[in-house]
Amino acid sequence: MTIFDQWRARSPYYDETHEALAQSVRRFVAQEVAPHIDRWEAEGELPRDLHKKAAEAGILGLRYPEEYGGHSDGFDIFHGMVQTEELSAVGAGGLGASLMTHGIGLPPVLAMGSEEMKQRIAVPVLAGEKIIALGITEPSGGSDVANLKTKAEKKGDRYIVNGSKMFITSGMRADWLTCAVRTGGPGAGGVSLLLIDMNSKGVSRNRLDKMGWRCSDTAAIFFEDVEVPAENLIGPENGGFIGIMRNFNSERLGMAMGCCAFARVCLQEAVDWAQQRETFGKALVGHQSIRIKLADMERQIDATQAWVDLCAWQVKEGRDRPADFAMLKVNATRMLEAVAREAAQVLGGASYITGSKVERIYREVRVNAIGGGSEEIMLDLAGRQLFGGRG
């Protein structure tokens, strides 16, 4: 049993059904992902047929309603955690970010959209036939959702959209965009969610090159007098902010789980290297300083995983609070940064050469610390929710 498996076997939250799912996803990754991931990283995107294969394997639809092609019966939030873990095993964060982009683009549709919209959008997305992305961040505001500037003006039976979005995951390949727009006055009360067909006239997009998540296509998206049918409004007009905030909580929990998984990948690679590499007449792991590093890495991972599992249990029991997700995300991303650094120290020069998982994960530390809400915004959010004060 590897480091990658041990935590589940000793946890009260996971049973044989979670282990069975882990093995199923692991087989999919070994067959359909691992042999190609380096090429996809170089090409800068995932092939569209991977989405169909993932749907056929039950990965895209896990914990989504059965009536739209999902698989929810008998699955809980911890099955979702296991799937995140196994998709992380190849050490490429862009895989989960892009293959599972419906995890942030689809929930607002399912939670707030009309039944017609759910059938029209969720069914082909969960079948892997269409790709949906989430468009929140803008060039001017980052995570300042309440002050977004992309405007949607209603004219008859249509909205006319003008503005732009930045750093949109799967933005180059997306067929639909769950897009935050301003339909009302200033502040959170004027924000709505619109489903935008990315093939509409007036939509343009530019590919963004990145430090990490290289197999995940990322785009800057521009809207110039884009016509969107009024029936593509998700939820009530000027009622989109709460849907966006609800979405952020699950995204942050998922990112924290991913950080634990990638940290375990780093630890496993460091352990393997330390056991094989010889220095000064003995295996690297024979040096006390190296053993201390490895043990400290395990300490940080296990502590963070315990918090992730607790937050997941609180979601399952309806006892969760937004501040916990914000603080957890900060803790998890800082843990990943520390573990990736120490793993690189253990590997030495080998960690600086393209080809090791540690090298790739080290380049992806920053996107975890910034994406989904930066450390500073997360801690301020938690502080305001827990202790009051508006700043």
Active-site residue list: 251
> Left, alpha or beta for 44 (phi > 0: left; psi -120 to 50: alpha)?
left
Q: Which helix (H) or strand (E) covers residue 212, if one does? A: none
User: CB of 153 within 8 A of CB of 165?
Assistant: no
- What are the structure tokens assigned to 287, written together? 């040096």
Token output for 12: 């009260």
Pairing assessment for the beta strands 132-135 and 151-155 based on DSSP bridges:
unpaired
d(CA 133, CA 101): 6
| Spatial separation of the C-alpha atoms in residues 40 and 353, rounded to whole Å | 18
Please, which residues bridge with residue 227 across strands? 160
Indicate the DSSP class of residue 113.
Answer: S
Side-chain half-sphere CA neighbours of 299 within 13 A:
8
Question: Is residue 307 classed exposed, middle or buried when 0-12, 13-18 and 19+ CB atoms within 10 A define those classes?
Answer: middle
Judge whether 263 and 269 are in contact, CB under 8 Å: no
> CA 281, CA 288: separation in Å to the nearest integer?
14
Sequence-distant contacts of 7-16: CB under 8 A, at least 24 apart? 7/264, 7/302, 7/305, 8/82, 11/309, 13/78, 13/309, 13/312, 13/313, 14/78, 14/82
Neighbours of 206 (CB within 10 A): 12
Dihedral angle computed from the Cα positions of residues 27, 352, 271 and 331, in that order, rounded to the nearest 10 degrees: -80
| 71 Cβ contact list (under 8 Å, min separation 6) | 58, 61, 62, 63, 64
